[in-house]
Chain A
């Protein structure tokens, strides 16, 4: 069965430093997608980055990159040059591309950027 695990309930990072948010997943499918979302205190879920299971290169989007290690089933989010506005909840999600297309989310990591 699909499962997403985020083991860091909370993280702190100094402004301008880089931070890694951990995500591991479990699936028996060969084809799947991995996603990261940001949820500020306002509540709206904001899409950050996507990685396909067949993508050979790690995805990057501006200051966000996804450290994809398929054999270890991990998809960690790296935020470079942290900004105060990065303080939020971050969710990792997975969607299998066969059978049901539903998305499964992890429990999230609360990131606090310190000035």
Chain B
């Protein structure tokens, strides 16, 4: 079956602009995660959803970042007034059952965001 997909694969924007990054999880996966990965670093947790609700958004760096998952499937990460420091690869992952001990995340290919 299809894996996690993310669009666009690359996004170049200017400082101060608004961007939306989309994630389409594996069908049936109830948990969805967003991460940010800077060059040479591991993925940094941003937010996760269980169904439609944000179960933990403690990783969002500030109020310019927001994410939604209105129907419990596709999720959109929204960044307002982008800054150069927001440049990174944004990764999305989904999993079948967040309460499961061996619950495994499956990652999408990421969106490379460049803020000029």
Name A's B-contacting residues (CB within 8 A). 4, 31, 33, 35, 37, 42-47, 50, 52, 54, 91, 93, 95, 97, 100-108
CA distance A101 to B104 in the complex (A): 12
For residue B110, give the distance in angstroms from its CB to the closest CB of chain A: 6
Chain A contacts for B104, CB-based, 8 A:
35, 47, 50
- Within 8 Å by CB of B45, from A37, A44, A52, A102, lies A102
Given A33-B103, A91-B42, A101-B98, check contact A43 B59 (CB 8 Å). Answer: no
CA distance A102 to B99 in the complex (A): 11
For residue B71, give the distance in angstroms from its CB to the closest CB of chain A: 21
- Within 8 Å by CB of A45, from B43, B58, B98, B99, lies B43
CA distance A43 to B44 in the complex (A): 15
Interface residues on chain B, number (Cβ under 8 Å): 29
A-contact 0/1 string along B72-116, CB 8 Å cutoff: 000000000000000001010100001101111111111000000
- Inter-subunit contact B109/A103 (CB<8 Å): no
Chain A contacts for B98, CB-based, 8 A:
101
Chain A contacts for B99, CB-based, 8 A:
101
- Inter-subunit contact A102/B109 (CB<8 Å): no
- Inter-subunit contact B89/A106 (CB<8 Å): no
**Interchain Cβ contacts under 8 Å between A and B, 18 examples:** A33-B102, A35-B104, A35-B105, A43-B109, A44-B109, A45-B91, A45-B93, A47-B104, A47-B106, A52-B101, A52-B102, A54-B101, A91-B42, A100-B56, A101-B98, A102-B56, A107-B40, A108-B42
Chain B residue at smallest Cβ distance from A50: B102
Chain B residue at smallest Cβ distance from A47: B104
Given A45-B43, A91-B42, check contact A101 B102 (CB 8 Å). Answer: no
CA distance A57 to B116 in the complex (A): 50
> Which of the listed residues B45, B48, B109 has the most CB atoms from chain A within 10 Å of its own CB?
B45
Chain B contacts for A46, CB-based, 8 A:
107
